[in-house]
Amino acid sequence: GWGARTRVPIVQGDYICRYTGELLTNQDAEKRGGDALTYLFDLDKEMPRNCETPFTIDARLYGNVSHFFNHSCDPNMAIWAVYINHLDPRLHELAFFAIRDIAPGEELTFDYSPHEPVATADPTPHKFVCHCGAATCRGFIF
């Protein structure tokens, strides 16, 4: 991916930005998911693990800098569900926060699959092989 780097020091716990884009139903997102270039992010942070996600954000056409953030198995940011003007768990916002201090010039990264095991012997059942280079790389993105 393109990647994004910070020009200023960021302190652990600092808010970085929200993931923005077009709000889609899960059905519409599934149709777009076959495109070669997608920036789909399911709004599943507050949903039980085995429930279908009703909404997805697509940042491809209407996103901000956050859709340039790359994956790392050893990230410097994490993403949290945040609520603005309502408490509907199906429609939370997605906000990035620093999980450690980040130096100027450092790439901003987060783990695309934070609930996956730390490492795996065989990444072949996964769709995307990871090339992050982290010592703790699990071998796949998702």
**How confident is the model over 107-123, as pLDDT tens digits?**
999 998 887 766 555 55
pLDDT of the residue at 52: 80
Burial letters for 11-40: b for 16+ Cβ neighbours within 10 Å, e otherwise?
eeeeebbbbbbbebeeeebeebeeeeeebb
- pLDDT score of 58: 92
Whole-Å CA distances, 127 to 16, 63, 93, 135: 28, 24, 26, 21
pLDDT at residue 115, rounded to an integer: 75
* Rounded percentage of the chain residues whose pLDDT exceeds 70: 88
Task: Output the pLDDT for position 39.
Answer: 85
Burial class (CB in 10 A: 0-12, 13-18, 19+), 78: middle
What share of the chain has pLDDT > 90, as a percent?
48
Q: What is the pTM of this model?
A: 0.86
33 phi-psi bin (left φ>0, alpha ψ -120 to 50, beta other)? alpha
Catalytic residue set: 19, 112
Q: Give the residue carrying structure tokens 């920036």.
A: 39
Whole-angstrom CA distances from 132 to 5, 20, 56, 71, 94 are 15, 24, 25, 7, 23
74-104 pLDDT, tens per residue? Answer: 999 999 999 999 888 888 899 999 999 999 9
Which backbone phi and psi does 15 adopt, to 5 degrees?
A: -70, 140
